[in-house]
Amino acid sequence: MKSLFKIMRNYVGTAVFITCMVLVLNFMLLAGLTLHYGTQSEAKGKISQIAREIQNSGDGYVLTDQGETLLNGYAWAFLLDAGGNVIWSYDTPEDFPERYTAADVAAFSKWYLDDYPVQCWKQGEKLLVVGEEKDSVWKHQMEFGMPFMKKIGSMFRTILLANGGLILLFCFFFGLHFYRSLRPLAAGIEDLAKEESIYLQEKGMTGELAEKLNQTSERLERQKAVIEARDTARTNWIAGVSHDIRTPLSMIMGYAEQLLSAENMDAEQKKQLGIIRDQGVKIKHLIEDLNLTSKLQYQMQPLRQEEFHPAKLMRQIVTSYYNNGLAGCYEIHFDAAGKVEPILITGDVSLLTRAFENLIGNSIRHNENGCTVDITMNTCTDGSGMGWLVTEMKDDGCGIPENVIQGLEEEQMGSGQQSGQIAGQPQTEKESVSRPHIMGLFVVKQIVLSHGGKFEIRAAKKGADIRVLLPLAAEKTAEKRTEQR
């Protein structure tokens, strides 16, 4: 919902800015028009030029040709001496008097003379009076008392604040209306992000957007149903194939084991039977990994959480390899930091055992000429203060193929090269060799991620270097448990 408040804030801010700019521009325009048309400075300058063009010829006053040109556009003109007598006139109406008193001059100088708008100019002791056409100029005199003029500043501020408040009120009202229209859309988008079905009212200014969101929701629901049906079919198919293969595979491995113990078999036949048995074991492990990765991918494998000592668990795993007859060309070394020994973490012991066995088994299976596996266990803290149990496994063998690393980074076992390996599509010899490799590592990665951990394949000059990080958020040491008791 924060995005809606941001939209509303920007909307109101923009509206206020535009309104203020419009008010300022209107005020400047009004002031400019008043100064331009209200002072009549241009007209005053023209009349002063006309007054200078009226000259005394000895027999009376005459207007020059330049003065007649300047008078073009005016209705009439006359010149008064100090006593108010008309000493020169130009196109004056016949009913105009030949003498004007001081009261007459005071009356028409700022207003009208017989409905003619009047402009006056004092030239020495004389007064030039020029009349414009009737109804050509509007004149009005404004007068204000000083108390009012003293208060006009505060009154202007009050009016401005009142107008600003009114503008803000309107902006807020329209912004709130816009916010209420967008709120259902925002809620619908949030529900879509949570993969929930929505239906919005298709009305108002956001009706078209609501319609599009409804259509998107329907399309996503259809796609979701198709994907769920496909995933269910895939899971059922894997489970069915695994079940169907298990019985004949057990028979093959059992008969192969019996024939290996028969005394009438020569060395070559026993070698071939040994290959059949070993490949049967590989197929069995592949089927188990395929089943497990399918369950983990669709969260069908519940974690059986329990507390355990990770260092103790790793020692048991390493010991089991030696007890089961580890070939002399292989060595497994395990070293745990002193602070790791008492640590207790919570997790699914069975799945984590499977993950660590897969990592060790990969090093053994893919290095037929032997290798040394070095396992270290320590703790670390990241930048956020989160504690981690770090298990690092290194070997000095052939390393991990690049295509396997790339497939793990993509985390898509059902596409590209990996899908061909699982589905049994044609493969090169290199791809065929890497098939159990990537399946085993992918299972390890899924198990680690399901525990909230991290799985890393690090660059190494020789062999493989893999790190498994498990969170220590729920860690407990034996000393802490004793204190709690």
Q: Which CATH class is domain 303-414+431-484?
A: alpha beta
Provide the pLDDT for residue 100: 94
Quickly count helices (H) and strands (E) in the chain: 13, 15
Q: Where are the beta strands (DSSP E) in 57-186?
A: 61-63, 76-80, 86-90, 112-113, 116-123, 126-131
Provide the pLDDT for residue 238: 67
Using N-to-C axis directions, what is the helix angle for 429-450 and 349-365, rounded to 10°?
160
**127-136 as b/e, with b when 16 or more CB fall inside 10 Å?**
bbbbbbeeee
At residue 131, φ and ψ (nearest 5 deg) are -110, 135
Provide the pLDDT for residue 430: 40
Provide the pLDDT for residue 16: 77
Query: Which residue ranges make up each domain of the chain?
Result: 2-38+146-188, 60-131, 303-414+431-484
Token pair in block for residue 168? 């803000």
The better pLDDT of the pair 318, 15 is held by: 318
Provide the pLDDT for residue 143: 66
Global confidence as pTM: 0.46
Q: Residue 336: which of 372, 309, 369, 300 has the closest Cα? A: 309
Contact assessment for residue 276 and residue 315, using Cβ atoms and an 8 Å cutoff = no
If you average pLDDT over residues 169-179, what whole number do you get? 80
* Residue 134 vs residues 36, 74, 114, 364, 401: alpha-carbon distances, Å: 22, 10, 9, 116, 104
Statement: residue 413 has pLDDT above 50 = no
Provide the pLDDT for residue 150: 82
